[in-house]
Amino acid sequence: MTVKQPNNYACAYNFPNPLFCQNNDGLIAIGADLSVNTLRYAYAHGMFPWFNHGDPIMWWSPNPRCIIYPHTFKPSKTLIRKLKNSGWTVSVNADFLSVIQNCCNTRAHSQGTWISDEMINAYYALHKQGDAISVEVWDHDTLIGGLYGVKLGQAFFGESMFHHVTDASKAAFFALMVLCRLSNFAWVDCQLPNTHLLSLGASVIGREQFLHELARQVSQNSCVWSMIFAQKIQAKDLLLNCPIVNKNNCLTLNLSTRPKG
């Protein structure tokens, strides 16, 4: 398979091509920085930073890669009931900084975190450029769950999520699937597989296939997700846009195509 390299992303560093990485754990490079241009280049070429505080920056492209197709996402019956009855609302990019800080705090209290202050500042800078996105779940005015990731073209790279109330992070993930489906995204990159992701309908593909599809996805025009969710929407309304739940397959949210976002 011939893998075409994205040509509309550039940075100051000469990263190795992940296609020729021999180790399946996927360590590609050590060093560089976390500037906006470096992050854009890395994600567009199938790499992401992952390192502990105090360690040098490490860049990874694991093989195989875990992805989830929005049209195969399988919400549980429990989640469907929760979305119908909770009264929660969902937003996009309403409070990116709080989402990433909550992701950091949640992991720090459980299993340690790679989301250092350096990472928070880097992704917040990327967010201000429109390329890092957050999804928030609210109970009235209280932030109870959310996720964040990187969006380039028609590719979304999930990074982390959190919840303070049971199922709130799952509600954020459900909203992400709706956004991707409305925006014609082929898949979401979940990086590494785990049992929970596989239970939601995630798949694993080889690095070569991932890079081939990624080059096409990041070269596509996209829409501004905050234009789709221009204000908080009722979580129950997400169900109208899920083909597994809504058998009539109705798309009811307003979608405005934009050249970038």
Task: Quote the CA–CA distance of 142 and 191 in Å, as a whole number.
Answer: 30
Q: pLDDT higher for 102 or 21?
A: 102
What per-residue confidence (pLDDT) applies to 251?
39
Nearest CA to 261 out of 109, 92, 119 is that of 92
What letter represents residue 160's amino acid? S
pLDDT digits (tens, 9 = 90+) for 176-193: 999 998 888 999 999 999
7 pLDDT tier (thresholds 50, 70, 90): low
Residue-wise burial string across 5-36, b where 16 or more C-beta atoms lie within 10 A, e elsewhere = ebeebebeeebeebbebeeeebebbeebebeb
Most confident of 31-45, 71-85, 180-194: 31-45
Which domains, and CATH codes, for the chain? Answer: 19-63 (3.30.70.3550), 67-253 (3.40.630.70)
Q: Report the range of poorest mean pLDDT among 18-27, 61-70, 155-164, 236-245.
A: 236-245
What per-residue confidence (pLDDT) applies to 226?
76
User: How far from chain centre, in Å, is Cα 80?
Assistant: 21
DSSP-derived letter for residue 5 is P
Most confident of 170-179, 218-227, 236-245: 170-179
Say if residue 14's pLDDT is above 70.
yes
Task: Quote the CA–CA distance of 44 and 217 in Å, as a whole number.
Answer: 9
Output the pTM of the full model. Answer: 0.88
* Token representation of residue 3: 């893998």
Contacts of 88 (CB under 8 A, 6+ apart): 137, 138, 139, 144, 168, 171, 234, 235
Task: Quote the CA–CA distance of 239 and 223 in Å, as a whole number.
Answer: 21
Task: Quote the CA–CA distance of 127 and 133 in Å, as a whole number.
Answer: 6
pLDDT digits (tens, 9 = 90+) for 120-139: 999 999 999 999 999 999 99
Residues of the chain above pLDDT 70, percent: 87
Say if residue 114's pLDDT is above 80.
no
Say if residue 56's pLDDT is above 80.
yes
Say if residue 39's pLDDT is above 90.
yes
Run of H or E including 215: helix 207-218
252 pLDDT tier (thresholds 50, 70, 90): very low
Task: Quote the CA–CA distance of 246 and 224 in Å, as a whole number.
Answer: 24
**Which own/partner pairs from 121-130 qualify as long-range (CB within 8 Å, at least 24 positions apart)?**
121/34, 122/34, 122/35, 122/36, 122/39, 123/39, 123/148, 123/150, 123/159, 124/96, 124/97, 124/100, 125/35, 125/36, 126/36, 126/39, 126/40, 126/150, 127/93, 127/96, 129/36, 130/224, 130/260, 130/261
DSSP-derived letter for residue 208 is H
Run of H or E including 39: helix 36-44
For residues 243-254, give the mean pLDDT.
Answer: 44
Are the C-beta atoms of residues 176 and 135 closer than 8 Å to each other? yes
Say if residue 254's pLDDT is above 80.
no
pLDDT digits (tens, 9 = 90+) for 189-199: 999 998 878 88
Helix, strand, or coil here: 9?
A: coil
